[in-house]
Chain A
Amino acid sequence: MTERRIRVLIAKPGLDGHDRGAKVVARALRDAGMEVIYTGLRQTPEMIAEAALQEDVDVVGLSILSGAHMALVPRVLELLKQNGQEHVRVFVGGIIPDEDVPRLLEMGVYAVYGPGTLTDDIVGDIRKAVLGAETAGA
């Protein structure tokens, strides 16, 4: 019996203590049937990449409200690539100024979300990103 579940790592990089958004998103993904590894606050990019590798996740979700995204996100992307996980989709949410969004996408981030995003939209986008590449499923 084969069972495929989307696995997502939700992490809060840096010193940012705003964790409501990360928790809201984690719960929404669980309720959508995904397996969410939640690592808690104050994660370094190294810790995030290591967890992504050990947990073999399909998606890494970074929640950043501190303004440090332009330093943290590229580092996470670089480490994922170093570990052979360039196929892992990286989603970013939090307080991201409009002008930074295209730059993040260019670096290889799959999508960026700000305050007020409906979690249903996030669920749909993750499903599309992961299962779209495969043959489909639940």
Chain B
Amino acid sequence: MSIAEDVLAGRRYALSRVLTWIENDTAEGQEALRALFPHTGRAHLIGVTGAPGTGKSSLVNRMAYYYRHPPEGEPRRVAVVAVDPSSPFTGGAILGDRIRMRDLAGDSGVFIRSMASRGALGGLARTTAGVVQALDAAGFDLIFIETVGAGQAEVDIARLAHTTLVVEAPGLGDDVQAIKAGILEIADILVVNKADRPGAMATLRALTEMLKLAHPSQETIMHHGQRMTAAAGVRKADAPLWVPPVVKTVALNNEGMDDLAAAIARHRAHLEATGEWQVRDRVRLQTELENMLQEALMQHWRSRVPEGTYRRILEAVFTRRLAPADAVAQLLAADAPRPKNLPT
């Protein structure tokens, strides 16, 4: 039995090993992802972002518990991927999000994995998407992805998730500024957590006001500035706009989880009704493919152009004798016209 089959059969340690290989970008990891890929595309990916300390992990703990013990219907299987920053100096990291996720211990329908950002700046690690794919293939219905929470717009998460929660908390000082800096654009649902704290109503009002202002331009910013070519024809032209709701929670006391779950369910229904679910899926896959293609083409091309030629042309640019655009033209011409070991 291959390890991918073990993962599909629900063996937790096999899954955990595969996640490590993916995270380390090893050949085994790529092999496993290849085998798991046909089984992906079923999970609802829920991003959770927001400034440090707003209560993202506490909220994920409560929400995951809610889906494990729903007031009605079957329990859903839940995975959590929690990303914390790596030290830029040593590369080390303290991953502390599990501290807040104690309520999920001992439940075999839950899988929590911590990841260090390993130098990536967009709020996720470079391999988070791969880790999420493996969890998706392993059959988790919902996958929560907690970002580093730099407080700025974290575009990576909006690109990866179907539904992005932006978590705010009262009393974070200039949080209104941070919101303006672009976080509204990635929010599908705004959460005001720590609603037990003074100032919660003010934060709620400020967010609601901003949403009203942002609403007219919603359509253009909804898709995170992504090219939508793959998606052409999928989205319905007269699809209703999604206006992000503002939901009040107190993760500390388990308040507001039903409201939040209802908002998530509404967003999912909206994505499905408008074709946006498929749009996001396709955008995600196209982005992934193009990134890989770019890397592969670059490598392939470099292996075909003599190092001396490359150095010479680079030197001409350094000494301002050749403009970069002309250098590119010359470098492309230096390659043989027909690459012969490309698969046809």
**Interface of A toward B, CB cutoff 8 Å:** 1-5, 7, 26-27, 29-40, 44, 46-47, 50-51, 53-56, 83-85
**What residues of chain B lie closer than 8 Å to A7, measured between beta carbons?**
20
**What residues of chain B lie closer than 8 Å to A39, measured between beta carbons?**
98-99
Query: In the complex, are the beta carbons of B94 and A30 less than 8 A apart?
Result: yes
B155 at interface, CB cutoff 8 A: no
4 closest Cβ pairs, A-B complex:
A30-B92, A40-B99, A56-B16, A33-B92
Query: In the complex, are the beta carbons of B106 and A51 less than 8 A apart?
Result: no
A22 to B26 CA separation, bound complex (whole angstroms): 32
Q: Please pick, from B16, B93, B98, B102, the residue contacting A53 in the complex, using a CB distance under 8 A.
A: B16
**What residues of chain A lie closer than 8 Å to B96, measured between beta carbons?**
38, 40
Number of residue pairs spanning A and B whose beta carbons lie under 8 angstroms apart: 83
Query: In the complex, are the beta carbons of B95 and A38 less than 8 A apart?
Result: yes
Query: In the complex, are the beta carbons of A83 and B92 less than 8 A apart?
Result: no
Task: Write the B188-219 contact mask toward A (1 if CB under 8 angstroms, else 0).
Answer: 00000000000000000000000000000000
**What residues of chain B lie closer than 8 Å to A55, measured between beta carbons?**
16, 113-114
**What residues of chain B lie closer than 8 Å to A50, measured between beta carbons?**
105-106
B253 at interface, CB cutoff 8 A: no
The smallest C-beta distance from B16 to any residue of chain A, in angstroms, reads 4
B326 at interface, CB cutoff 8 A: no
Given contacts A56-B16, A56-B19, contact A31 B92 (CB under 8 A): yes
The smallest C-beta distance from A75 to any residue of chain B, in angstroms, reads 14
**What residues of chain A lie closer than 8 Å to B92, measured between beta carbons?**
5, 29-36
**What residues of chain B lie closer than 8 Å to A84, measured between beta carbons?**
13
**What residues of chain A lie closer than 8 Å to B106, measured between beta carbons?**
46-47, 50
Query: In the complex, are the beta carbons of A36 and B93 less than 8 A apart?
Result: yes
Query: In the complex, are the beta carbons of A56 and B17 less than 8 A apart?
Result: yes
A10 to B203 CA separation, bound complex (whole angstroms): 37
**What residues of chain B lie closer than 8 Å to A51, measured between beta carbons?**
98, 112
Task: Write the B3-45 contact mask toward A (1 if CB under 8 angstroms, else 0).
Answer: 0000000001100110110001110000000000000000000
Residue of B nearest to A4 (CB): B24
Residue of B nearest to A48 (CB): B105
B324 at interface, CB cutoff 8 A: no
A7 to B112 CA separation, bound complex (whole angstroms): 15
B226 at interface, CB cutoff 8 A: no
**What residues of chain B lie closer than 8 Å to A35, measured between beta carbons?**
86, 92-93, 95, 116
B306 at interface, CB cutoff 8 A: no
Residue of A nearest to B112 (CB): A54
**What residues of chain A lie closer than 8 Å to B90, measured between beta carbons?**
30-33
Query: In the complex, are the beta carbons of A2 and B116 less than 8 A apart?
Result: no
Most chain A beta carbons < 10 A, residue from B111, B113, B116: B116
Given contacts A3-B24, A33-B90, A39-B99, contact A54 B111 (CB under 8 A): yes
A55 to B91 CA separation, bound complex (whole angstroms): 18
A39 to B249 CA separation, bound complex (whole angstroms): 24
The smallest C-beta distance from A17 to any residue of chain B, in angstroms, reads 14
B159 at interface, CB cutoff 8 A: no
B118 at interface, CB cutoff 8 A: yes
**What residues of chain B lie closer than 8 Å to A26, measured between beta carbons?**
94
Q: Please pick, from B16, B24, B91, B113, the residue contacting A2 in the complex, using a CB distance under 8 A.
A: B24
Residue of A nearest to B91 (CB): A33
A28 to B331 CA separation, bound complex (whole angstroms): 48
**What residues of chain B lie closer than 8 Å to A2, measured between beta carbons?**
24-26
Contacts A2-B25, A36-B94, A53-B16 aside, 19 further interface pairs with beta carbons under 8 A come to A1-B25, A3-B118, A5-B92, A29-B92, A30-B90, A31-B87, A32-B90, A32-B92, A35-B92, A37-B95, A37-B114, A39-B98, A46-B105, A53-B13, A54-B12, A55-B113, A56-B17, A84-B13, A85-B13
